Structure 1
Amino acid sequence: MDKLKLYIIGFLVAIIAIAAGIIYKWGFWMLVRIVLSLGFLGLTLMLGFFLALTLYAESWKYAGLLVIPTALSAYATYLTITWQKLKVVGGIILLFAFGLVFGIWYISEPDLSLTDRFRSAESLERAGKYKAAARKYEKKGNYLKAAEMYEKLGWMESAAWAYEKAEKYEKAAEIYEQLYEKEKDTYYLKEAHEYWKKAGNMERAAKALERYAEEEPWFWEDVAKLYEELGNEEKARKAWEKALEYYKGEAQEEGVFWEDVGNIARKLGMEELAREAYQKFLEYCLKEAENDPMWWKHVAEAYEYLGEKDKAEEARKKYEEYRQRIIKSNEETSNFPEEKGSQ
């Protein structure tokens, strides 16, 4: 058992012991008196703090709302300490309980006015209160109607969210494509791609991702794979070619990307380019392996690409030797000698 649990148990035991002691010494009603006094005192201090805060901020509206409950709580504190007018105390408790329930109910629909809360979604829709109607439809689980309300409001992202909840993924995808046309933010194309996939329309999903890749070129490989799944070899090849161009550019900055260049070039039947790329990838890996033996694994892969199996095996052995050293080192550091006092 950890210390926190012990502290909690100890605290609870102490509280129970104190309560039992009070009952034994002065009776049950003394315990009630103390609990109510402390409870109202704490509530008064809390309300008083927030009242002072709102007054300091010159928020007169909220200060006015806090004055009465603070005064009532302070009065109840006095009555419970002096143990008089218990019916009044009971009334104050009921009043605070009602206020708590009302507050929770009010917070549950913060966007609705007090009168709108008692109207149906259909009534609010007819009155042109689309925001309130949308919230009501959401609460009823009618996300399709909620989406329609959001569209009337022009809240297109909220409409897309509601269509998703209604499992109308194609509508959500269409909205995100419209948002892209308006905002020119590629995020919307990525979302459209995801929703077209959910809708099962892989052709539209591929088109959306293709448009996305025009802005974010590292996705051309995903576009190519998607078109391959669709059996569209022509578009897949074009996407692979664009992915190749992207990786060639990246490889100029970071040599690790020569592997991707080689893989795509080989896929496209460009063997000469593939071999050249793998050779550059090998050179990069050999250089990295000088400082980090972990790279011998990739050196082996590069030799495999080039068909040099003996050298690949030699590199793989170096990687395995390094790996065994690491394993042995970890075992040694984990086997600490026992202290004499623990024997």
Structure 2
Amino acid sequence: MSFREIWGNEQVKQILRLSLGKGRLPNSLLFFGPAGTGKLKTALTVAKALNCLERTDDSCDRCDSCLRIDRGQHPNVRVITRDKNREQIVKEQIEELNSLATLRPWGRGRLVFIIDEAERMNETVANSLLKTLEEPRSFAYFILVTEDLQLILPTIRSRCQVLRFNPLSQEEVERALVDRGFPAERARLLAQSSEGNLESVLETDWDEFLSGRNQAWLIFKQLLEAGEVEDFLSLVAGRARKDALSGFRETLKFFSVFFRDLLVVLAGRKELLLNPDLGPELEQVSRLVSAERAGQGVRLMEDYLGRLKKNPNLAIMGNELTIFFREIRND
């Protein structure tokens, strides 16, 4: 995969291509940003560019070196990640990296060490990497990848060029899906619910997604039409927190889409519906909601989705939302 095949974060890719083309790429890089924004794919593309036999600013994706890296078989490129049965990257893995980083690379290429989930190095393990980052050999490059920059030791951050990866826009996700052969209507709906995470969307099972949407629509109608809250509150009651958080997040993402579709119906633009198969039901429900309230609903769902990233009290959030739906019905 070359830079042009990685969607989004054009500024980051431009910085990397210019640095590679001029032979001025820093030996230590730190990529951070949300899941699904292409951080690891970009790191591997940098590794291919540093070892490519035909190009210097990108991977050609056809030379022997690029193909070896794609297969995970190139002697110059190592991806370090925690073992499946461990929560952390262990000291032995970094000690091996430190040793390998002193050896000459194979052929005319460069050594590249990619540390995925770099936040899973504890302080002792991270400190064992410091000297290698401080005094790298000219032919050795290190790329640390993380979702949370604050979990990386300041001493590690200060020795790397830090590059931020932003979530993809809905338009970028939609174009990427259409480019991969998704039907346009399906791509629009998936993109609206993606939160900028293209990789997660690409792994989505459509039948499961549609089943989740239908369940969320049923709960949405229950709240609006009859004020029935039991099914909605059951999303967070009596469940393990991880499951409750996941289920609540997915439901709020669908609620945001439903409110958006209600705005479209109220504006008389049904051709823009993200859920055209729900058109007749949306039209019926729209009689209960003003455009102002539907707009508030979109903003409130987006606000709550942001709050879910900060470990909130789900029961309180659930009760707040039932009050909001009750206020809509009482208007």
TM-score interval (norm. to shorter): under 0.3
When the two structures are superposed, what TM-score results if normalisation uses the length of structure 1? 0.20
Normalized per residue, the structure richer in strand is 2
Normalized per residue, the structure richer in helix is 1
When the two structures are superposed, what TM-score results if normalisation uses the length of structure 2? 0.21
Higher Cα Rg, which structure: 1
